[in-house]
Structure 1
Amino acid sequence: MYLPNYENGSIVNLMSSISGAFGTRLRYKPLKILNPSELKSKNIVLFVIDGLGYEYLMNYEKDNILKQNLKGRMTSVFPATTGAAIPTFLTGVPVQQHAITGWFVYLKELGLVSTILHFIARSGSEPLSMIGINPKKIFTQKSFFDKIKVKSYFIQDNTIAYSDFSLLHKGKAKVLSFKPASLNSFFRQIKKAIKSSNRRKYIYAYWPDFDTICHIYGTKSLKTKKHFSEINKKLESFIKSIKKTDTTLIVTSDHGFIDSDKSKLIDLAKHPKLSDAMIIPLCGERRLAYCYVRPSKTKQFENYVRKNLKHACYLYKSNDLIKKNYFGLFKPNKKLFDRVGDYILIMKENYVIMDFLLGEERGFHIGNHGGVSKQEMHVPLVIIKK
């Protein structure tokens, strides 16, 4: 089991290194392998490739610009997933403080399970803001862009750049959107931000497609390898185009991936005694589930997991993992206790657990994340200076 190193070795600490470079000291220590004094460039660019694990990069057969400039390895946060880690990049703190616990999050204040980054109900498609819900009441952590005193840019594809989640977390940063699935458009916007002025600036740039391809086809697929090769090729051209701009490019990821298959699927519909003990649908991730259990059926729940699922998952009481600092250090956000359920199932090996609501498509992802394998938890730190 691989857990985050919040002391000095996680993406949380990376954000403290970046903030320190701009004169702002955050509560979490800077990254041990990246002192803020190393980030003196006029332009600091954080390039997040969603889903690019350290293990994937190290095992990739061909030499590439990312591996050539690899500075080291970091951990993600707990859980190691987009829903928890992207908010860390955008706030500078882990789940312990921002309380965005995964893809599906139970919102006690609304009485529903949400797809939190889309700010919709799990069973819906309309943004919660359209029915009068203020995102500020749900997302309570201050934006990282507002914690640093420097001109900032926020670069995402135009399908998500202006979402409720993005607009709230961009803070004072200027939004630059790019055409979906276009690396040319993506790097063009980064270059535009770099050359926008002679002032010092921070640029956050997020590329989602590697994650999407890994989910559908898995990490070993030709499609995934082809896309990774394309990222490296376009990155090389981009690096040449920003020579002498006094830029430091930091490349990392929110999590890595582990491949699975349907023989490793725990479908809740096939475990009615387990489902019967729960009050609401599973929350969190396919590799790490938050379970809300009826008080009268806690023994039934515990006994069933220990007897029938011990080969597939670890069973923990949620509050115990908060106390053990799995989600981060220091005082937890009060909302965190409502958003992690009564029990947490952490999947072993490459098992996944899923349930399906009425009307929900019964899809299956080959590539998955959110667990505690080294493939999911470890992410690269790449530094390129121009």
Structure 2
Amino acid sequence: MKGFVLPEYNGRSITNIPGTVLRLFGIQNNLEPLAAPILNKLRGEYSSIIFLIIDGVGFYRYRELKEQGVIPNLAGFNEEYLTSVFPSTTTAALTSLSTGVPPAKHGMLGFKLFLKDFGVTTNMISFRPWKIQVSLVENGLDPDEFVKERRVYSYLEEGYVKSYILIRSFYRNTPLSRVIYGSYETYGIINSVDLFTTILKIHKKDKQKKFIVAYWGDTDTLAHRYGERSLEFGLELRNLDFLLGETLKKLQGENVLFLITADHGHLDTVPAQAIDLSEDKFLQEEMVLPPGGEHRVVYLAVRNPEKVVKYLKEKYGDLAEVA
């Protein structure tokens, strides 16, 4: 597909990070790890592996800020490019980072999905039918069991490695966090300072081997609201870089591996290229369900698939990939 960056699931995707962590701890598993040249650079004996996920910081934007010299601590890390997943969105990517498998296997394929058992198109963050204020969780859906794939934390537990999952306090125990992390305990964070100081406290609390996952989403929030090249986005990443530097000073001499990734990048929308499907009369008449997926990856359930695909390619083929 011209112009698209496709996931490289065979060793250069964020999906390969969980399998890599397990191998570094010496735990047997069937998950695909990062490619051998990357894996070999990481090999060693570690008391803790700290895994920081910074939401929405794409490789090219990171490179630009690195070249400007405004994120010196992030720039000091050994760098390898990785691809995201498809669709390259937070819900899909975080579930892959928790399971080590692509979205096509774990099933979190977008913000809006049709759930056959309930017969509705569902908001996968709130787990409510689209535009209807009824909780599916209160009507029999178990978020802990929605994703059937085994979480990486289960493997680690069997290998006597303690997992700590740090997320914003307001995400804890929500249906979405339970889908991503299953029944494993999460720890609430109130701000970025709390995130990094909690990482240090957990690492130093005892001698047990630890896997510390720290997720930070404010970068993504700012990129969605103001754009990835906004002052707000840049300042947020510079703030994280400063806190990272202070944390690394406290970890000097420690037997720790510190991994950092984004879950996906951003591409600022050009309004003139946006497609409003709600204004397409033919398409509205053909659809049998509300659209699913994401704004950039739309799933359509229609009466006449071949007819609709032909129509979409003719009308929107220059602006979108139709399949």
TM-score when normalising by structure 1 = 0.76
Structure 2 counterpart SS, 1:56: helix
Query: Aligned partners of 2:44 and 2:169: how far apart in 1?
Result: 29
CA contact (8 A) 2:47 2:255 kept: yes
**More helix per residue: 1 or 2?**
2
Structure 2 residue identity aligned to 1:71? E
Question: Which residue, 132, 151, 160 being the options, matches 2:162?
Answer: 151
CA contact (8 A) 2:95 2:108 kept: yes
| Shift in Å, 1:166 | 2.2
Query: Aligned partners of 2:200 and 2:283: how far apart in 1?
Result: 52
State the Cα deviation string for residues 23-69 of structure 1 (Å, max 9, x = none): 23333432124327625210101100010111111111224211221
Query: Who is 1:56 aligned against?
Result: 61
Tell me, yes or no, if structure 1 residue 308 matches structure 2 residue 315: yes
Query: Who is 2:18 aligned against?
Result: 15
Structure 2 residue identity aligned to 1:115? N
**More strand per residue: 1 or 2?**
1
Question: Which residue, 232, 252, 256 being the options, matches 2:261?
Answer: 252
Change (3 A) 1:246 1:137: closer
CA contact (8 A) 1:277 1:300 kept: no
Structure 2 residue identity aligned to 1:218? G
CA contact (8 A) 1:48 1:205 kept: yes
Correspondence list, 1:350-369, <5 A: none
CA contact (8 A) 1:156 1:178 kept: yes
Structure 1 counterpart SS, 2:240: helix
Moved over 3 A (4+): 124-127, 167-174
Structure 1 residue identity aligned to 2:316? L
Query: Who is 2:174 aligned against?
Result: 163
| Shift in Å, 1:108 | 0.9
Structure 2 counterpart SS, 1:48: strand
Q: Unaligned 5+ residue runs, structure 1?
A: 317-386
Query: Aligned partners of 1:67 and 1:29: how far apart in 2?
Result: 27
Query: Aligned partners of 1:124 and 1:210: how far apart in 2?
Result: 30
Query: Aligned partners of 2:145 and 2:86: how far apart in 1?
Result: 23
| Shift in Å, 1:125 | 5.1
Query: Who is 2:46 aligned against?
Result: 41
| Shift in Å, 1:127 | 4.1
Question: Which residue, 231, 238, 242 being the options, matches 1:233?
Answer: 242
Change (3 A) 1:40 1:275: farther
TM-score when normalising by structure 2 = 0.90
Identity of aligned residues (%): 26
Query: Who is 2:86 aligned against?
Result: 78
State the Cα deviation string for residues 125-157 of structure 1 (Å, max 9, x = none): 554222332224522222211122211101001
Query: Who is 1:176 aligned against?
Result: 187
Correspondence list, 1:19-30, <5 A: 19-30=22-33
CA contact (8 A) 2:58 2:264 kept: yes
Query: Who is 2:75 aligned against?
Result: 67
Query: Aligned partners of 1:292 and 1:174: how far apart in 2?
Result: 37
Query: Who is 2:6 aligned against?
Result: 3
Change (3 A) 1:28 1:210: same
Tell me, yes or no, if structure 1 residue 242 matches structure 2 residue 256: no
CA contact (8 A) 2:48 2:211 kept: yes
Question: Which residue, 210, 222, 225 being the options, matches 2:219?
Answer: 210
Query: Aligned partners of 1:119 and 1:26: how far apart in 2?
Result: 31
Structure 2 counterpart SS, 1:123: coil
Root mean square deviation of aligned Cα: 1.9
